[in-house]
Structure 1
Amino acid sequence: MEFTFYKYQGTGNDFVILDNREEFFPKKDSQLVAKICDRRFGVGADGLLLLENHPTADFKMVYYNSDGNLSTMCGNGGRCIVHFANYLEIISGRTTFEAVDGMHEATINNEGVSLKMNDVETFEVTDAYTFLNTGSPHHVEMVSDLQNFDVFGEGRNIRNKIYGTDGANVNFVEKQNASTFSVRTYERGVENETLSCGTGVTAVALAMFETENTSENKLTLNTPGGQLQVRFNKIDSHYTDIYLEGPATMVFKGIWQWKR
């Protein structure tokens, strides 16, 4: 058996995306997902996305980490699948779709996708870090000399020792100016540093505002894979109208030859 796949990247966070509206893909086969995502023996990706039919919205997004397991919300994956839906002509510039954390709205303009994230109002703030959930759980910690920081070693340690089996994504942040921050992220499920994390930079933006490291509500986040923007409003303790914005690009498409 064989099927067509599409390789996407959003600021270096890369995905294999499949049009699964005919439900051909064996969704419980975690080994197959992991093999497709493997960078030596497969296509290579941080995760795999399925675009599926939805009874009321334009489509449904199903996301797997590269370890083959179903995961929580992926912001860059959400932006890439919106671009893919536009490519398939399921949508035309604007969409509403469902992900694991609920409904999302998005718009696409050329290669840029603006994705509305869910509201956030719960923060755990300590002297060392901030923890919050932006569709996925995120640890946000400010450091010095981010370029030379041991993201893999320190991220893996925090992910396992503080957050246990379920884990959390770990974001290390350095302030550049009042509205610009550099971010590097260790992602659970990938169990490594990724070039960019959409829910991660969203968490960083909110955490920086919540801890008064910025008074700006539109921030630029520089990641190793490129630049993203996050804008939001805060009403009392409630963060709303949160948008993650940046490029989403189809890299290539191919055929996966699959033996059961």
Structure 2
Amino acid sequence: MRIEFIKMHGLGNDFVVLDAREKPLPLIDAAVASALANRHTGIGCDQLIVLEPSSAADFRMRIFNPDGSEVEACGNATRAVGLLHGKPARIETLGGILEARPADAGISVEMGQPRFAWEAIPLAYAMDTHSMPLAWEELVNPIAVNVGNPHAIFFVADPYAIDMDRLGPLIENDPVFPERVNVNVAAVTARDAITLRVWERGAGLTRACGTGACATAIGAMKRGLVDRTVTVTLPGGPLTIAWREDDVIVMSGPATESFRGSFAADAFGLTQAAAGEVTA
């Protein structure tokens, strides 16, 4: 039994997409996701994306990190599957319904409304999320924002001077974040420009993070550092983030299909006997 996949990326943040909207797949669990994401023995990706039917939207998108954990939202993946769908779409995720549509810059995604309450991040206990009274060495007083998944944003002079390989996992797994957290280090370079690096929860450093760009832009807007539309430049390239007057975040940027292929199901723990099991 062979299973078809599509390899895609948004600014270098890459995905393996399994499309089960019309034909059910064997059960995809954490072990299978981790095996497929492995860059040495699997296909290799920052996230495994599984598309399924939805009763609430045009289709459902599930997102697995390389460690097998399933996460709520991914902006770059939303643009990628929007490109794959080829027309405007409402997409169900664990973080809510997202809307994607073709745009001049590639794909535009309505990412919903940001949340700032400490219990919505979530944090382990109540505190001011606008300037958290916490520090991890030189990274101090982050702003916390949930944009479908949780982010902590630190504004620094030079994001590339921060040892993210060391501090990223330290902050991600701090007990103050009971569901772990995505770690963003950013520099505001103009009223409409931010430079950003992101340590993604369960994935590590990536070339781009759509929800990280959204959270960082919103954090900078909330602190009055930038205007309501801003270009966020990540290692993989720029994204445009706008915070509309109706409180909805809109992210615009490119997405690319790299190639298509197939793999032997039993090589990754998926067997013919399990073929009747639909992902859930």
Q: Is the 8 A contact 1:105 1:115 kept in 2?
A: yes
Aligned letter for 1:73?
A
Q: Is the 8 A contact 1:30 1:69 kept in 2?
A: yes
Relative distance call for 1:222 and 1:249 in structure 2 (3 A) is same
* SS state at 1:255 partner: strand
Q: Is the 8 A contact 1:65 1:189 kept in 2?
A: yes
Paired residue for 2:8?
A: 8
Aligned letter for 2:114?
V
**Could you tell me how far apart the structure 2 residues matched to 1:119 and 1:56 are?**
19
Q: Is the 8 A contact 2:105 2:252 kept in 1?
A: no
**Could you tell me how far apart the structure 1 residues matched to 2:142 and 2:105 are?**
34
Q: Is the 8 A contact 1:75 1:197 kept in 2?
A: yes
| Structure 1 unaligned residues grouped into runs of 5+ | 87-92
Cα displacement (A) at 1:143: 1.3
TM-score by length of 1: 0.90
Cα displacement (A) at 1:64: 1.0
Matched-pair identity in % = 30
Cα displacement (A) at 1:121: 4.2
Cα displacement (A) at 1:145: 2.1
Cα displacement (A) at 1:162: 5.2
Relative distance call for 1:186 and 1:82 in structure 2 (3 A) is same
* SS state at 1:167 partner: coil
Paired residue for 1:181?
A: 194
* SS state at 1:212 partner: coil
Paired residue for 1:222?
A: 233
| Structure 2 unaligned residues grouped into runs of 5+ | 118-128, 133-140, 272-280
Residues 128-168 of structure 1, C-alpha deviations (whole Å, 9 max, x = no match): 11001000100000112222321221111111225455210
Cα displacement (A) at 1:175: 1.4
Paired residue for 1:241?
A: 248
Paired residue for 1:89?
A: none
Relative distance call for 1:5 and 1:165 in structure 2 (3 A) is same
User: Is residue 262 of structure 2 the alignment partner of residue 250 of structure 1?
Assistant: no
Aligned residues: 247
Relative distance call for 1:96 and 1:225 in structure 2 (3 A) is same
Residues 12-58 of structure 1, C-alpha deviations (whole Å, 9 max, x = no match): 1111001112221312x321111110011111101111111123522
User: Is residue 157 of structure 2 the alignment partner of residue 144 of structure 1?
Assistant: yes
Q: Is the 8 A contact 1:111 1:249 kept in 2?
A: no
Runs of 4+ in 1 over 3 A off after TM superposition: 162-165
* SS state at 1:67 partner: coil
**Could you tell me how far apart the structure 2 residues matched to 1:117 and 1:71 are?**
15
Aligned letter for 1:24?
L
Q: Is the 8 A contact 1:111 1:248 kept in 2?
A: no
**Could you tell me how far apart the structure 2 residues matched to 1:162 and 1:176 are?**
32
**Could you tell me how far apart the structure 2 residues matched to 1:111 and 1:34 are?**
32
Cα displacement (A) at 1:254: 0.8
* SS state at 1:125 partner: coil
RMSD: 1.7
Cα displacement (A) at 1:241: 2.5
Paired residue for 1:194?
A: 206
Residues 65-121 of structure 1, C-alpha deviations (whole Å, 9 max, x = no match): 1112211111111111111122xxxxxx31112111221211114771100011124
Q: Is the 8 A contact 2:114 2:248 kept in 1?
A: no
